[in-house]
Amino acid sequence: MTIIIDPQSSGIAGNMIIGALVDLGANSDDIKQIMEKSAEDFGKVKVTFDKITKHGIDSTFCHVEMLEHKHSINYPEFIEKIKSLDLDEKVKETSIKVFERIGLAESKVHGKSLEEIHFHEVGTSDAVADVIGSIYAFYSLNLDNQKIIGLPIAVGGGRVKTAHGTIPVPAPAVVEILKDAKMIGGPVASELATPTGCAIYAEICDEIREFIPLVKPKKVAYGAGRKDFDHPNVLRIIESSDITESDMIDVIETNLDHLTGEEIGYLFDTLLDAGASDVSVTPIIMKKNRQGSLLKVICPRKNREKIIEIMFKETGSLGIRIAPNLHRGTAKREFIKKTFEIEGKKYEVTFKIGYVNGEIISERPEYEDLKRIAKESGLALRKVREMIR
């Protein structure tokens, strides 16, 4: 399953994330209790959830009202208070990572060390409630086991008044937090993306894409923003089943005419061990009618340089061709184990299952398991394959 966080229309804020996750199925009563309890040491808050309509879009609004303001504390003391909260360790650890993103951004903007940053610069009690509420809801829906894709964030525009004076939108901290993400100005002259919302987004997203990938939507949820515009001020979250998974690969190849069969076999295994997704060797006729082989390697982009280095070293080739950044469509795969009894002995066999659009398209036993059973049983490999289906 893939979860798509879509802030393209009206940006992102902590309460919008919570609202959308409640709309997706998270328990609002549990989240309200967690948020109010967690914020107590930093200032009391009151949390309410309402179903509202934003320009025709039915959505969930999470309202966090600050009832108490406390004196600011420094960042290390703030983190110690978070660590002392009675929360699941995963929720605390991820929440601390979110606050660290905010703290690092604020320290960079203000020219201070992280230890010098004060709580009012990292966030107030409503920010604590927003972060912990969002992360609690995220884990309560088991979204940590799903692939999370973020789309570009609409950050708004214009200027906004802050404790440090009037600053341009997006706020400097937002720009720092989103350095490795994608953002776009507008569509209104107002602040749409908050540091808290951006930090949560940056922490939980596995990757940022420009467009929605090929998926099959199953459920759509909306979290409402506080402001009203001429367009729906909502954050959209899409829960989808994967149709295909697409990744970027490089195809690297070179001609061989001077390696022995043993050397080619060694190179074959070395490339696979180094992270190649696939290696093939094809007989070809080269210049001057010489017989040779075409070595073709498919590998993820992250392994490209390592693969090329091995190919130069092991082949002595003076030229290697690279077709970079090709898209590869792959069926969704999983591995399951089955037990078979053969001649009175039980054997465990791993099957590779391939899915497209939720339907099984292939189910094959792993060769290494078949080979092991053939050796142990004394049966022909062909016979073992026939017995394991």
Q: What is the pLDDT of residue 389?
A: 76
Dump pLDDT digits (tens) for 43-71: 999 999 999 999 999 999 999 999 988 87
Please state at what angle helix 195-204 crosses helix 14-24, rounded to 10 degrees.
50
Position 249 pLDDT exceeds 90: no
The span from the CA of 285 to the CA of 177, in Å, is 55
196 phi/psi in degrees, rounded to 5: -65, -50
Q: Which residues contact 5 (CB under 8 A, 6 or more apart)?
A: 12, 17, 148, 149, 150, 151, 201, 204, 205, 235, 236, 237
Do 38 and 87 meet the contact criterion of CB atoms below 8 Å apart? yes
Q: What is the pLDDT of residue 237?
A: 98
Q: What is the pLDDT of residue 214?
A: 82
Q: What mean pLDDT is predicted for residues 27-37?
A: 97
Better-predicted residue by pLDDT, 344 or 69:
344
Q: What is the phi-psi region of residue 343: left when phi exceeds 0, alpha when psi lies from -120 to 50, beta otherwise?
A: left
Dump pLDDT digits (tens) for 89-101: 999 999 999 999 9
Strand partners, 226: none
Q: What is the pLDDT of residue 122?
A: 55
pLDDT category of residue 118 using cuts at 50, 70 and 90: confident
Dump pLDDT digits (tens) for 273-299: 999 999 999 999 988 788 899 999 998
Q: What is the pLDDT of residue 246?
A: 52
pLDDT category of residue 182 using cuts at 50, 70 and 90: very high
Residue type, 317: S
Q: What mean pLDDT is predicted for residues 316-323?
A: 86
Q: What is the pLDDT of residue 332?
A: 72
Peptide bond into 213 cis (omega under 30): no
Dump pLDDT digits (tens) for 218-240: 999 999 999 999 999 999 999 99
Using alpha carbons only, give the angle 220, 195, 20 rounded to the nearest 5 degrees.
Answer: 15
Average pLDDT, the chain: 90
Q: What is the pLDDT of residue 327?
A: 57
The span from the CA of 188 to the CA of 198, in Å, is 18
Using alpha carbons only, give the angle 18, 138, 115 rounded to the nearest 5 degrees.
Answer: 85
Task: Give me the half-sphere count of Cα atoms (radius 13 Å) on the Cβ side of residue 125.
Answer: 22
The span from the CA of 193 to the CA of 123, in Å, is 15
Q: What is the pLDDT of residue 329?
A: 59
